[in-house]
Structure 1
């Protein structure tokens, strides 16, 4: 997931995602920071935390304007819109610099597991909605 913003006259792409996805979109080099971040991610995961990597890329005006036009075309397409938008993001989400990683505890609120179990015992169908979206 990415966001593009203009700050102090410069245009930046900020991206968050799984380490495997972000790592394949990073520019060459910076192996030391990648190795340290991988160590931290492994420790966080071993502690049961949910992890994300963060990356950034500065865009020049011409690159951004060209991408913006392609994004508009994809987003307003009547045919295969989702795939076209995804392809346009794939174009811009590259040559990024690793900015860091996050780790959070990912668990249900107190009482939720028991409530779900009770609903299931009552033969009530349950749908669990999350903020995750598979790509």
Structure 2
């Protein structure tokens, strides 16, 4: 997600925030290598501690580039077909070659009663899945804090494919492993 602002000097600046996997792929080669490596180390530590993370980046935009982009954005915004795809493409084109600013870490506290509720669901033999866009380390840490993951858990299946096909293959493998343990599903 980005915003374009005009600073007191009259310069147009795009500020962007997003997942590290997205932002780090969009930063300029001019970004200081030490800043990038330190930011990645901080992100890993934050995730291991269970924090939600975001990266921040910026870039200056000339008036000509902005005006051209703004015209394309206005056209895409009123397109009758493929509007969202056109807007995504236009935003993606502008959000390239940015300079990394750093990262944030936010503790996303559980609501009262969540661990107890999850424990009750488990005692009722209700199967629960975690579906998240967070880093795996963050998801695992939160899973333990809310009693979704416990030391008594025999097996955890992690599905982390980046494409639909990868996820499908991983899910089929998990199903095969479950059926080997429990037998095929019964038909009623």
The TM-score range, normalised by the shorter chain, is 0.7 to 0.9
TM-score of the aligned structures, taking structure 2 as reference length: 0.59
Unmatched tracts of structure 1, length 5 or more: 119-135
> After the TM superposition, which parts of structure 1 deviate over 4 Å for at least 4 consecutive aligned residues?
112-118
SS at match of 1:27: coil
**Aligned to 2:42, which of 40, 43, 50?**
40
Query: How many equivalent pairs are there?
Result: 120
Unmatched tracts of structure 2, length 5 or more: 121-188
Structure whose residues are more often helix by fraction: 2
- Counterpart Cα distance in 2 of 1:12 and 1:117: 48
Structure 1 counterpart of 2:88: 86
Tell me which of the two structures has the higher relative contact order, counting C-alpha pairs closer than 8 angstroms and 6 or more residues apart: 1
Structure 1 counterpart of 2:66: 64
TM-score of the aligned structures, taking structure 1 as reference length: 0.81
SS at match of 1:65: helix
SS at match of 1:87: helix
Q: CA deviation digits over 1:3-51, x for unaligned, max 9?
A: 1111211101000011110011101031110000001001000101010
Kindly state the Cα deviation for residue 108 of structure 1 after the two structures are TM-superposed: 3.1
Matches within 5 A, 1:102-113: 102-111=104-113
Structure whose residues are more often strand by fraction: 1
- Counterpart Cα distance in 2 of 1:46 and 1:113: 20
Taking only aligned residues, the RMSD between alpha carbons, in angstroms, comes to: 2.0
Kindly state the Cα deviation for residue 109 of structure 1 after the two structures are TM-superposed: 2.4
Structure 2 counterpart of 1:6: 6
Bigger Rg over Cα: 2
SS at match of 2:26: coil
Structure 1 counterpart of 2:56: 54
Kindly state the Cα deviation for residue 65 of structure 1 after the two structures are TM-superposed: 0.4
Q: CA deviation digits over 1:57-112, x for unaligned, max 9?
A: 11010000000001111111111111110000011001100011000112332245
